[in-house]
Amino acid sequence: MPSILLCRHLVFILGSALPLFASATPSLTPADFAVDSTFVDTELSPNGELLAVTIVHEGKRQLAVFTTKGKKVVGGARFPGRQEAGQAYWVNNERLVIEILKSDPWDEQPKFYGQLYAVDYNGKNGELIYGVGAGEMQTGSKLRKKQDTYGWGELVSILPDDPKHILISSTPMSDGGERRATIHKLNVYDGKLSHNLTRSPVSYARFITDGKGNLKIAFGLDAKGDRRTYRYDNDQWLEISAEFGPGFYPLALNEAGDKLYYLDDPKKDLKGLFELDMRSGTKREIYTDDQVDLTSVTYSSDGNSIYALRVDPDYPTYVMLNSTDPEADLYRQFLHSFPGYKIAITSRSDDGRWWLLYASNDIDAGTYYLYDKERHALQPMFSNLAHLKANYLSQSEPVSFLTSDQVKISGYLTYPQSAPAEHKVPLVVLVHGGPHGVRDYWAFDRKVQLLASQGYAVLRVNFRGSDGYGRTFREAGHKQWGGLMMRDIVEGTRWAASLERIDASKICIVGSSFGGYAAMQAAIVAPDLYRCVVGTVGVYDLPLMYEKGDIPERLYGDSYLTDVLGKDEAQLRAFSPVYNADKLKAAVMIAHNKKDRRVPIEHAERLRDALEKEGKPYEWFIKDTEAHGFSDADNRADYYQAVSQYLSKHLGR
């Protein structure tokens, strides 16, 4: 049987005070929580002597290469204009391949468009080796000129036995991205692409190789949009005919390459880990939790086995599979060394001496540590948001309640650490976005900490429609944005309001994207419950979702909207704040961005017009240069400050 390690938060002696209470320690400002996380990703070189670190500097992602001993900067790469450094991969001890990201004005975060760049660790011999513009980008070194590739490249394998090449998929550009990819070897020194090794049997393909980089699996969609899975055998694609559940997703192969590890929910409601013998077709269930879906899996460094699973019923819980793998034993040591932390191994050296891990929890944004197995020494390397000291932050506790129809709803409640236990505190309900495929976790959340720093308790509710609690729970939110989902949020608010430490007369609700919609709609459904509401980049006119925004532009966008919203015009209008503004009693703040393509500003403008028609006051916060969120730290600070002042006006003493 698998062994289970429970991750529980550490108990800290907290004594700092915050705005609603007297304090002898410095309070944190909204701007303190708006600072960018500096360290996005790190990767050890094969020999363990160097670290490739993706760093956010002046709002852009750049690559820096450090020595592991002394943390001396010895190279890296940065890019001109709107281009930024994405995920970096060591091909050998000398050369890296970097995914190039591009920041467009309408995007919240920079995106990958299939361009691959190679550079020596010291910053020399940089070259765009795949994608549109190959040979044209200049970063300070002399680049050779070569032909553009009008396609989208994605790394399939580093090819561990070939220091000069990587294996990539090359998908010709198309409006919908549905064209089938071809597989090639790509020279990381001169950008030469090999002949076509094979063509994918499906569109939108994900490929899996064995530990040597040999192509084995393709998973994607056929011409009808149905999912198909194939194995590559003797230069031919053969469909795997085994029946899978709706949650099927392939993960990795074993060392022999004849067994496939995958996620699925074939007969059970919850997603678990399974194994398929590709020769016999025999399937074996490895582990399925009895409360929640699997959150993540931990692979061995060669990718040929899975030795740990994580589930999140409340706190993160680690399930260690029965394994004699020494990596599994080391992972157990890391979990015991960091009680109360989530642990992820990000990379290791080829000889197994050096390991890089990332540790974080609800009051620690995260630190990268270097572990020397030979000396049994653990060294902190880089910390995110280190200025936010743990003793100034507030711990989050898992909570649950039963709805009026007897469904268990889980979530997290954070009391401000500055508030004495005998003091009642105002409550802010913070609604997550998505809503489908998303949930709240026990983790560091800058918005939670911002609100708690102002002296508010913060409630997060994983209402029906949220991910992670099984297929039935997730699909219960379909066509119920203004129905069951609102009921769960409102009943969760009332449950929290009944708690001894909550001041039930001072409750506001806040959210972004779907959360912005939910905040506004909950205040319509329960007009006497909330004193104020903040809707940020929210959807306020559900019928408009079919006409404006980037979702209808996608290949399966209309189908998605039909599934989750439905096409009952009367219900869509009944569930839309724009058509029900007359029911609002709470004070309203509308925050939106002019370049938002996911939820165009027309949603905010229509809500504003509806409020003005009803003679209801509102506050208006608009940024001209942002999209579906606040990617710029200064703009984020302005937004946090505006929200803090607004909440203080309505919840302050």
Structure confidence by residue, pLDDT tens digits, 397-424: 999 999 999 999 999 999 999 888 889 9
Query: What confidence tier does 177 reach under pLDDT thresholds 50, 70, 90?
Result: low
pLDDT tens digits along 518-555:
999 999 999 999 999 999 999 999 999 999 988 888 77
221 is a domain residue: yes
Query: Residue range 572-596: average pLDDT?
Result: 96
479 is a domain residue: yes
CATH of residue 633:
3.40.50.1820
Beta bridge partners of 261: 252, 275
Higher pLDDT, residue 583 or 300: 583
Question: How many structural domains does the chain have?
Answer: 2
Query: What confidence tier does 133 reach under pLDDT thresholds 50, 70, 90?
Result: low
228 is a domain residue: yes
Buried b (16+ CB within 10 A) or exposed e, 68-104: beeeeeebbbbbeeebbbbbbbbbbebbbbbbbbbbe
Give the list of residues 6+ apart from residue 529 with CB closer than 8 angstroms, or none: 490, 493, 494, 497, 507, 522, 523
pLDDT of 39 reads 95
pLDDT of 500 reads 95
| Number of neighbouring beta carbons within 10 Å of residue 353 | 14
pLDDT tens digits along 262-294:
999 987 799 999 999 988 889 999 999 999 999
Query: What percent of the chain has a predicted confidence (pLDDT) above 70?
Result: 91
Buried b (16+ CB within 10 A) or exposed e, 24-58: eeebbebebbbbbebbbbbbbbbebebbbbbbbee
Beta bridge partners of 593: 623
11 is a domain residue: no
For 36, 226, 229, 254, 374, the CA distances from 377, given in Å and listed in that order, are 30, 50, 44, 31, 8
What is the number of H-type helices and E-type strands within the chain? 10, 36
Which of these three, 218, 241, 264, is where a domain ends?
241
19 is a domain residue: no
Record the pTM.
0.90
| Gap between the Cα atoms of 266 and 283, Å rounded | 11
For 167, 237, 248, 254, the CA distances from 229, given in Å and listed in that order, are 20, 9, 10, 17
609 is a domain residue: yes
Q: Which two structure tokens, joined as six digits, stand for 25?
A: 């320690």
360 is a domain residue: no
Query: What confidence tier does 138 reach under pLDDT thresholds 50, 70, 90?
Result: very low
Query: Residue range 366-380: average pLDDT?
Result: 95
pLDDT tens digits along 552-567:
887 778 888 999 999 9
Which domain covers residue 204, as residue numbers? Answer: 162-241
pLDDT tens digits along 70-84:
999 999 999 988 899
How far is residue 612 CA from its own chain's centroid? 37
* Whether 482 contacts 525, CB under 8 Å: yes
Q: Which two structure tokens, joined as six digits, stand for 269?
A: 């409601």
Which of these three, 241, 256, 272, is where a domain ends?
241
Q: What is the mean pLDDT of the chain?
A: 89
pLDDT of 338 strictly over 90: yes
Which of these three, 179, 207, 241, is where a domain ends?
241
How far is residue 382 CA from its own chain's centroid? 20
pLDDT tens digits along 5-52:
444 332 222 223 334 444 434 578 999 999 999 999 999 999 999 999
* Whether 430 contacts 461, CB under 8 Å: no
pLDDT of 514 reads 96
119 is a domain residue: no
